[in-house]
Structure 1
Amino acid sequence: MDKKIGFLSFGHWRDVTGSQTRSGADALIQTIELAEAAEEAGIDGAFVRVHHFERQLASPFPLLSAIGARTKHIEMGTGVIDMRYENPLYMAEEAAIADLISGGRLQLGVSRGSPETALRGAENFGYVPPEGVSAADLARSKTEIFLKAIQGEPMAVTDPERTGGISGGLAIQPQSPGLAERIWWGAGTRATATWAAGLGMNLQSSTLLTEDTGVPFDQLQAEQIRMYKDTWKEQGWEREPLVSVSRSVIPITTDIDRMYFGDRSEDDQVGILDGARSRFGRSYVGEPDKLAQELARDEAVLEADYVLFTVPNQLGVEYNARLLKTIADHVAPAIGWKKKF
């Protein structure tokens, strides 16, 4: 696979000074508009984060469908959907619909989810783990059901009284051929990455790993990717695995860029998150040529098939469209990316 690049938006909105996204409507509409602008710049993907009980993008399928209907080439996806909150069969229907509307451009990232403000938030949606089952186990079991559903396995049986005594299995409808090969698992550890390979899912790795071995973030993430690929090969899957990573990259080309972000990159951050020692990847801030050189030395970026660049969405569509065009023109070619449309 040729290397691809995309943007990743958290979809924040706040009615505060300086914010271009004052409401949920602003965040949604501007995400669609940014996807259109990104497509014009040749960017391959428009991805959104999914958070509940926060002023950020939540249930993603209406938004993904809208992007699919308004664009022609760009892929749309998530990074990630928290499966603890999902009904896997209803989600299978929604995912297939969004994929069909876009003509097969959906790249769906799913996972156990990230730390959140809500206390046991998924339980308020009605999803309480059975006794002895962790929230992470619940997310993984729902993911397995979801994968079976989008692959067309029977999820229900016919009612003989309505089918003249004929009994048979019923699959979720509609089905979207090829969608199952475009499901990505958001892995925060090396162990969950190898679990994803065992199920034949692509790997989506962000700038946060909930483990730390003392090596720089890009090296730890590259090790995770290599372990994932080794497990994939051991499983004997026919197709090649796909891997994405995300990075915070801010090219400094104007005084406004410098006012907002300065001109110095941050180092990795290490701390305790949900009881685990975790490592958060550095931010890349500086002149485009300097960023190109630094990213070309990032081990995980070089291993990845897809690199997602986080955007400061509250600065508005015009600002972020310019940021993405600068990355496409001056930074991404250094990591092996070429414009495809």
Structure 2
Amino acid sequence: MERFGTLSFGHYGPLGGGRQLTAADSMLQAIDLAQGMDDLGVNGIAFRVHHFARQQASPMPLLAAIAAKTERIEMGTGVIDMRYENPLYLAEEAAAVDLISGGRLALGVSRGSPETVVRGYEAFGYTAEDPRGADLARDHFDLFWRAIHGEGLAERDADSPFGAGSGLQQIEPQSPGLPSRVWWGSGTRGTAEWAGREGLNLMSSTLVTEADGRPFDVLQAEQIAAFRAAWAEAGHPGTPRVSVSRSIFPITTAEDEMYFGHSQEGDGIGYIDGFRSTFGKTYAAAPDVLVDQLKQDAAIAAADTLMLTIPSQLGVAFNLRVVQSFAEHVAPALGWKPTR
């Protein structure tokens, strides 16, 4: 494990007991958490993106704010649902954030996970033939991918007093290293292989749409192997990055025990988008026990980056303590060294 970071679902709303976490609280606390993690030498912080829900829906302003307040940490998404996106506007925003951060954007995109509404992307002005919108997501991604590679996409107006040159014009700004920092969020072996052929990094999901009785980590490790084989067969240079997400909580206090001491001990089986799927278990134990358990996780061993899903509603201090505990007592035994 070369890198680790966090993946936040960014929930806000009522907390019980008359307490309320507002949208502003959620974003401002995310910035504070990123600063604390940057000081610890943690490698990344990412945010789930969901529309029509009390979660992060427009991540670029948040990522730009984090970029301005930190020095080393990667900031990213896990994932942006391409069904909802204007591809060229996203290309402009992503390049801008990547430039502001000095090349620290880790942009996770895909078809996305199920939303709280039916065909919500239609309210954004987009239509799809596929009931799940996979065709729309791929079409939007293709245009985005061409744009960030600098392809000319619109004919220059010869009568315009602005700009220079002729022919097809590229979007601006351009960030030359951005394509190498784009990840495809995949929950299936087929989409992982497609990502490898396209030359993307792989952000393996918190589930796989398979359920044949084998453990989640084994299924996920096979997905990662298929991705790397497709990358190699396509002849892409370099080595792609791979991340996996896990719910991991070192139990070091009575508060930790209260929240997570009775967490799910095994993988979960359920249905998502009509597919019978396997969901990863929660790891919650004393640090030395966690080390032994995580060393047996085949997908963690196959990936270079581990993202911890964190309960953002519990606030900055609690989540920073979870991250620090993992960084001090668990991650070094898995091969991690802090970024300084």
TM-score range, shorter chain: over 0.9
Q: Which residue in 2 is equivalent to 1:156?
A: 154
Q: Which residue of 2 is the match for residue 37 of structure 1?
A: 36
Q: Does 1:144 align with 2:151?
A: no
Given that residues 148 and 174 in structure 2 are in contact (C-alpha distance below 8 angstroms), is that contact kept between their aligned partners in structure 1? yes
Task: Describe the SS at the equivalent of 2:330.
Answer: helix
| Counterpart for residue 69 of structure 2 | 70
Asked if the contact 2:60/2:94 (under 8 Å) is kept, the reply is: yes
Note the C-alpha offset of 1:21. Answer: 6.1
Higher deviation after alignment, 13-22 or 65-74:
13-22
Alignment-derived partner of residue 272 in structure 1: 271
Q: Deviations over 1:32-73 (max 9, x none)?
A: 000001111111001111011011111100000000000001
Contact kept, 8 Å, 1:249 with 1:283, in 2: the verdict is yes
1:179 counterpart letter in structure 2: L
For 1:271 and 1:77, the matched residues in 2 are separated by 28
Task: Find the residue that maps to 1:79 and give its secondary structure.
Answer: strand
* Residue pair 1:186, 1:203 contacting (<8 A) in 2 also: yes
Residue segments in structure 1 that go unaligned for 5+ positions in a row? none
Counterpart of 1:298?
Answer: 297
In the other structure, the counterpart of 1:121 is 120
Provide the aligned C-alpha RMSD in A: 1.8
Conserved in 2, the CA contact under 8 Å of 1:21 and 1:316? Answer: no
Indicate the residue corresponding to 1:328 in structure 2: 327
- Larger mean Cα displacement after TM superposition, 200-209 or 156-165: 156-165
What's 2:4 paired with?
5
TM-score scaled by length of structure 1: 0.96
Gaps of 5+ in 2: none
- Equivalent pair of 1:202/1:243 in contact (CA under 8 Å): yes
* Aligned residue type for 1:112: R
Cα distance change of structure 1 residues 175 and 109 upon mapping to structure 2, 3 Å threshold: same
How far, CA to CA, are the matches of 1:322 and 1:225 in structure 2?
31
Question: How far is the alpha carbon of 1:133 from its aligned partner?
Answer: 7.9
1-structure distance, mates of 2:155, 2:186: 34
* Contact map agreement 1:264 1:286 (CA 8 A) in 2: no
Deviations 1:124-154 (A, max 9, x none): 111112x468601110111111111011111
TM-fit CA distance, 1:9: 0.5
Instruction: Please give the residue correspondences for 1:165-184 in structure 2 after superposition, counting only pairs within 5 Å.
Output: 167-184=166-183
Stretch of structure 1 that moved more, 264-273 or 28-37: 264-273
Find the aligned partners of 2:38 and 2:59 in 1 and give their Cα distance.
19
Deviations, residues 270-317 of structure 1 (Å, cap 9, x unaligned)? 122221111100110111111111111100001101110011000000
How many residue pairs match? The answer is 339
Structure-2 separation of matches of 1:190 and 1:108 = 20
CA deviations 1:104-134 (Å, max 9, x no partner) are 10000001000121111111111112x4686
Return the letter of the residue paired with 2:126.
Y
Q: Distance in 2 between matches of 1:40 and 1:20?
A: 29
| Residue number in structure 2 paired with 1:53 | 52
Between stretches 131-140 and 185-194, larger displacement belongs to 131-140
Closer/same/farther in 2, CA of residues 69 and 221 from structure 1, 3 Å limit: same
Equivalent positions of 1:130-141 (< 5 A) are 131=129, 135-141=133-139
Q: Does structure 1 conserve the Cα–Cα contact (< 8 Å) formed by 2:269 and 2:278?
A: yes
Q: Which amino acid aligns with 1:102?
A: S
Report SS of the residue matched to 2:252: coil
TM-score, normalised with respect to structure 2: 0.96
The secondary structure found in structure 2 opposite 1:56 is coil
Q: Is the 8 A contact 1:265 1:286 kept in 2?
A: no
Percent identity between matched residues is 54
Does residue 1:81 correspond to 2:86, yes or no?
Answer: no
CA distance in 1, matches of 2:228, 2:30: 33
Call closer, same or farther: CA 1:60–1:132 in 2, change over 3 Å: closer
Q: Matches of 1:166 and 1:28 in 2, distance apart?
A: 42
- Structure 2: how far apart are the matches of 1:124 and 1:279? 31
Instruction: String of CA shifts for 1:222-280, please: whole Å, max 9, x gaps.
Output: 00000000010000001111100000001111111111122555210112222111110
1:178-327 equivalent positions in 2, closer than 5 A: 178-327=177-326
- Cα deviation, residue 166, structure 1: 6.8
